[in-house]
Amino acid sequence: MIKKYLLYAFLSVTSVITLIPFIWMLGASFMFDGKASVFPPIFLPDPFTFTQYQILFERLNVWRNFFNSLILSSMVTVLYITFTSMAGYAFAKYRFRGKKFLFNLLLSSMIIPSQVTMLPLFLLLKSMGFINTYMAIIIPGLANIFGIFLIRQYCISIPDSLIEAARMDGATDFQIYRKVILPLAVPILVTLAIFSFLGTWNDFLWPLIALTDDSMYTLPVALANLMLEHTKDPELMMAGSVVTVIPVIIVFLALQKYYIKGIMMGSVKE
């Protein structure tokens, strides 16, 4: 019994410690200037104010960056799911020349870190006139090998008889993909959609390189930039952090089952 209570006490204390940065962030974001820079630190805003959010959205136009992040993350996710699901399905259910070679080539390229591609990718997109446009973020996010791999694994478990039956009914290849495969693959598609959405939303290095104008920045880049000018305004910076973090927490809470499953699937691939 005592062991059980000790365990609960330990879990509760460590959970609260883990969440303290968020609790302080949220509290400080509702404080007036200077209220968060006190010793000892306080967590509850008194008085409570929306001033920081007003400055953020009205004076600093952070809503632009919020919409950039939202639109880019959504667009990348839709295209990414379309591209990778088609390729993953083809690798799972079609025979074609060079399939094994192609697949192994892709698999072994998963080890190449994306940072290696960034210099030439920048030059390539620059020559296409895409730097500092949405295209600069969308194009590198269209497809990745990990997604193709995960969808292929999932599609392999779909029985061939379902595809055969649809073909007997006169369905075309595209109709089979659209009407048979996609509905069955919804769980894995949701998983990958969360990865893609959160990945694009949270990404920092590439947007920092590819977007060069305040009005084009995604939230993390805008926030990093703001930090340089407002090092002494914790209240304002915390409001910015809340705006950046809340949407991902909402997406995660709504779909956490799929996210957790995705981590486990990624981990058993070896």
Partner 1 sequence: MKIKNNINAAYFFLAPALSAIFIFFFIPVIAAFIMSFTDFDIYALGDLSTVRFIGINNYLKLFDDPLFYTALQNTFYFVIMAGPLSIAVSLGAALLLNSKLVKYKAIFRLSYFIPVVTTLVAVAIVWRFIYHPKFGIINYILSLVGIAPIDWLGDTATAMPAIVLMSVWKSFGYNMIIFIAGLQNIPEDLYEAASIEGATGWQKFRSITLPMLAPTTIFISLITMIGYFQFFAEPYIMTQGGPLNSTLSIVQYMYQEGFKWWNMGYSASIAFVFFFIILLGTIIQLKIQKSTE
Query: Which tokens go with 20?
Result: 């303290």
| Nearer to partner 1 among residue 18 and residue 157 (C-beta) | 18
Cα gap 90→152, rounded to integer Å: 8
| Nearer to partner 1 among residue 72 and residue 238 (C-beta) | 238
Query: Which tokens go with 264?
Result: 């486990």
Measure the CA angle with vertex 143, ends 151 and 159; round to 5°: 15
Alpha helices (H) along 157-233: 160-168, 173-175, 182-184, 186-202, 205-210, 219-229
| Nearer to partner 1 among residue 74 and residue 82 (C-beta) | 82
Q: What is the DSSP letter of 32?
A: P
Measured CA distances, 216 to 21, 125, 136, 202, 207 (Å)? 29, 16, 11, 15, 9
Least distance between partner 1 and beta carbon 192 (Å): 12
Least distance between partner 1 and beta carbon 61 (Å): 18
Distance between start and end Cα atoms, the chain: 40
Least distance between partner 1 and beta carbon 52 (Å): 13
| Nearer to partner 1 among residue 189 and residue 221 (C-beta) | 221
Measured CA distances, 12 to 5, 8, 9, 18 (Å)? 10, 6, 5, 10
| Nearer to partner 1 among residue 7 and residue 54 (C-beta) | 7
| Nearer to partner 1 among residue 49 and residue 83 (C-beta) | 83
| Nearer to partner 1 among residue 83 and residue 134 (C-beta) | 83
Return phi, psi of residue 44, to 5°.
-100, 125
Q: List, as one string, the DSSP characters of 1-58.
A: -HHHHHHHHHHHHHHHHHHHHHHHHHHHHTSPTTTTS-SS---S-SS---HHHHIIII
